[in-house]
Structure 1
Amino acid sequence: MAVPTITIFAATGNQGGAVARSLLKNPAFKVRALTRNPNSDASKALAALGAEIQSANGFDIESMKKAVRGSWGVFVNINSDDQAFRNEHGPTEFDMGKTIVDAAAEEGVRHFIFSSATNCTELTGGKVRMKAMDSGYTVKNKIEQYARNIDKFETASFINAAWYLENFLAKEVAPIFGGFPHQVDDEGYLTFAVPKWGGNEDVPFISMSDDFGDLVQGMFLDPQRWNGSVVHGCSDICTFDDLVAAFEKVTGRKSRFRPLPSWEAFDIKGIPELEDPKLMFAFTQATNGRYFGPEPSEKETAALLKQVTSAALGKPEEQRLVSVEDWFRKHFQA
């Protein structure tokens, strides 16, 4: 029996790269990595791990059909901040998503997994709208609904990524979040200054490097079970107070959470990529903290998928999701 090929769109990005690296550990799958630049360092690193590297144009149906031809499964994440979507008269994120979905369907892809998001506009009765109509969280949900209505897939499943823990590694944006966890304030604290989350203040976090890829692999290992599901892609759920307390415990550095008076008070310094994160606070406050949609955030599903993948890879010692404390210990402990 031929080894099934899983094609990953944007395989050198945060999500695509995590999925590719996880799947490349499993000889039960072949990995085809789609990228705009096959000669980039990230592409070469995936090739060294055994991936087939191929370039593809997500706006061109024939290019995408060629890219996914012969694939058993496809994983797709689209970067909403792509410069290609900046031209108001040019193709949109939905145009790209539709092209990819159509290409996969026409080429007989059996199992389709899309990195989606909640419909912020619908869930808040139009009060919160992420970016423009054709970009951001809401358009990802629009692509999800389009994929659900394609009757050519055996299974179509979806995963929503939580707050990337890896964002805390970016020193250049730390001042916008109060300085945490890189720059101390005038009082000597590493202060995390953001709006409140809403509801019980339970915030879902995901470690891209440790868990996200394994969650998607777990979905591919039993696609029928997850058909139609929206998986909460998170490693841990905790409050912002718990987050900074975990950091302080691990590093011994004075840290604190200082909530801003409102989501409007979150100053993103004119950085376009932070517009959606700012509006994310407006969304979660309007939905009582329910970032993933109508249901409360949960990590039990993610824990199960992590266990399934760990078992398939013969690594039962790696079956536990990474906690916020463990993640800080890995990246910040001296």
Structure 2
Amino acid sequence: MAMQSTFGAATAARTTLVFGATGRQGGAVARAAIRNGGSVRALIRDPGSAAAKALAADGVELIPGDFSDPASIRAAMKDIGGVFSIQPNSGSAGSGVTDADEVRYGKLTADLAVEAGVGHFVYSSASIISKGPTGIPNLDCKIEIEDHVRGLAIPWTIVRPATFMELLAAPDFWPEPDLLYFFAGPEHPIEFIAADDIGRIAAAILDRGDRFAGQTINIAGEVLDGEHIRAALGKALGRPIGYARFPDAALEQQPMLKRTVKLFEAERGAGNADLTALEQEFGHSTRLEDWLSGVGGALLRSATGA
């Protein structure tokens, strides 16, 4: 990733269409684009939901529709300058989509952006695929979408976020209030990024599409091992905690989790992003301690029942 100069004042003066705006990534992009002085439109399945109403209160224009309705996507893309594209993750519980659905939606969104003459298309993928296929279908399907995006006849950028800091506060990862299970043992490094930093970086890329067109950018804010994580979370909670890889018994019952753990133990979750170049280009990224002193601390306390 060839980068130089520090990202300066925001220059957004156009409308950005954000997919997944009621979710973690899309919501962060929408908020960052508004802070940058731009306007935001969002395709929303349920405009009456609390999350949708919160977006509307922030000034986001809501367009009813979903990925299964191309006409609604076309309507949402009318007079749009930039698109942030993210699809429901087929690997997420409750997403309601298959791997084939995710690929179809990703390609459709990209093709409709070309049809609409969108000025810049940003697709959000996953950092862990950076070293090639993983053998996990719900990750490798993103490779197929990436390949499609690279063939678009409009400017495009692919961002690949690292592991979310928010996963450290996922309730399912805390079998006990004082014990965190994660994807690798304490000795393995993992790149992390806070969701708000994904939004900030994606909005900056959309603001300055000419600078980042044609690039695939792995984004992360910090590399952490389990010992650092354990100490930081324990400090935030005010008590000692344990940190361990998901136990073998759980892995035997969940084949996809077992394969994911193998990826992290092979350190596929580290060494993907150029942290120095990212900081020079986009400014300071959130460190774990910073995140825990803000929104992350509240999430952590909720997850652990503190």
* TM-score, scaled to structure 1: 0.75
Residue 52 of structure 2 aligns with which residue? 43
Letter in 2 for 1:247: L
Instruction: Indicate how the Cα distance of structure 1 residues 278 and 226 shifts in structure 2: closer, same or farther if over 3 A, else same.
Output: farther
Residue 179 of structure 2 aligns with which residue? 191
Cα offset, 1:240, TM superposition: 1.1
Residue 268 of structure 2 aligns with which residue? 290
Cα offset, 1:243, TM superposition: 0.8
Cα offset, 1:3, TM superposition: 3.5
Cα offset, 1:297, TM superposition: 3.5
Identity, % of aligned positions: 26
Consecutive aligned runs of 4 or more in structure 1 exceeding 6 Å deviation: 268-271
Contact 1:232/1:299 (8 A) holds in 2: no
- The within-5 A match list for 1:154-173 is 155-173=155-173
CA distance in 2, matches of 1:112, 1:77: 11
1:23 aligns with 2:33: yes
Residue 204 of structure 1 aligns with which residue? 191
Residues 7-49 of structure 1: CA deviation (Å, up to 9, x unaligned): 001211111011001111122x210011111111111111111
Contact 2:190/2:264 (8 A) holds in 1: no
Residue 147 of structure 2 aligns with which residue? 145
Select 2:107's aligned residue among 98, 107, 111: 98
Residue 97 of structure 2 aligns with which residue? 85
Select 1:267's aligned residue among 244, 247, 250: 250
Select 1:213's aligned residue among 199, 203, 224: 199
1:129 aligns with 2:135: yes
1:323 aligns with 2:284: no
Structure 1 alignment gaps of length 5 or more:
184-189, 308-319
Select 1:299's aligned residue among 239, 257, 275: 275
Letter in 1 for 2:63: Q
What number of residue pairs does the alignment pair up? Answer: 284
1:32 aligns with 2:41: yes
Cα offset, 1:298, TM superposition: 3.1
- The structure showing larger relative contact order (alpha-carbon pairs under 8 Å, at least 6 residues apart) is 2
Select 1:224's aligned residue among 198, 210, 221: 210
Select 1:281's aligned residue among 252, 261, 265: 261
Residues 74-125 of structure 1: CA deviation (Å, up to 9, x unaligned): 0011121364425x9xx6211111111111110000100001135859836x
Letter in 2 for 1:325: E
CA distance in 1, matches of 2:128, 2:55: 33
CA distance in 1, matches of 2:121, 2:216: 13
Cα offset, 1:172, TM superposition: 4.4
CA distance in 2, matches of 1:137, 1:97: 13
Question: Is the partner of 1:11 in helix, strand or coil?
Answer: coil
The range that moved more, 102-111 or 240-249, is 240-249
CA distance in 2, matches of 1:276, 1:15: 23
* TM-score, scaled to structure 2: 0.81
1:57 aligns with 2:66: yes
Question: Is the partner of 2:211 in helix, strand or coil?
Answer: coil
CA distance in 2, matches of 1:51, 1:197: 41
Residues 275-298 of structure 1: CA deviation (Å, up to 9, x unaligned): 755433222334xx1337xx6433
Question: Is the partner of 1:24 in helix, strand or coil?
Answer: helix
Cα offset, 1:194, TM superposition: 3.7
1:255 aligns with 2:241: yes
CA distance in 1, matches of 2:285, 2:250: 33
CA distance in 2, matches of 1:62, 1:245: 50
CA distance in 2, matches of 1:332, 1:95: 37
Letter in 2 for 1:147: V
Select 1:75's aligned residue among 80, 84, 109: 84
CA distance in 1, matches of 2:157, 2:172: 35
